[in-house]
Amino acid sequence: MRLQSVPKAHGSDINDAVFVKDKEVVTCSSDKTVKVWSNVDQVQSAPEGRVLTQLGYAIYSLDYCPYRDLLANASMEGHVTLWNATGWKKITTLTPPGKAAIRTCRFSPDGRLIVIAGDDDMAHMFDLDTYQYVKGFKGHDATIFFACFTHDTNILLTGCNDGLIYAWEVQGNSKKPLLIVDDVHDLGVSCGDCKPDFDKSKITSI
């Protein structure tokens, strides 16, 4: 695929972008919009963009779940919106307790769960079969900008503006993290991902 340039795709910073079925790209921006770009697989034509939604504040995070064909966009208004990525119809909104600004959202690799996190210093997990709240993970003392599941969905990793990464067990009733890694970055953890061969056995409980 040859890359195509799009002049002035957004009116401000582009904060995240995801491929949807290799034929569309979705972007979100500090200009408060989410845009869907079509024809990205066409060599002869430039991508065509349209606004999927416009919110009242900057939008920092997107994710796509191929198993359910869902797109998630985070909102500084305190919720995450889920969209059907075939017809681009709104499915539902997920709102954690407290309704704090959301900085990140990630689907689990198996498509069962979604985690959302942000300014309340917590990560919140929802079930995608019922869209019900499952539980929260509390331990950070700063805004969480990064969250992701390991490939087997057994471990959740979260990173905050203080430069710490926490590892949490997804199943079970423990409220304590499995591991805390200090001083990961001087200016905070803003994004990241998990290796496909991430080995849970290398984590030592605290």
Residue 107: inside a domain? yes
- At 168-204, the pLDDT tens digits run 999 988 888 888 877 667 566 766 777 666 665 555 4
- At 25-69, the pLDDT tens digits run 999 999 999 999 987 766 556 667 899 999 999 999 999 999 999
Residue 8: inside a domain? no
Cβ within 8 Å of residue 179, ≥6 positions away: 166, 167, 203, 204, 205, 206
Q: How many domains is the chain built from?
A: 1
Domain that holds residue 76: 60-194
In one-letter notation, the amino acid at residue 143 is T
Return d(Cα 115, Cα 133) in angstroms, integer: 10
Residue 111: inside a domain? yes
Average pLDDT, the chain: 87
Q: Could you tell me the CATH number of the domain that includes residue 75?
A: 2.130.10.10
- At 94-140, the pLDDT tens digits run 999 988 999 999 999 999 999 999 999 999 999 999 999 999 999 98
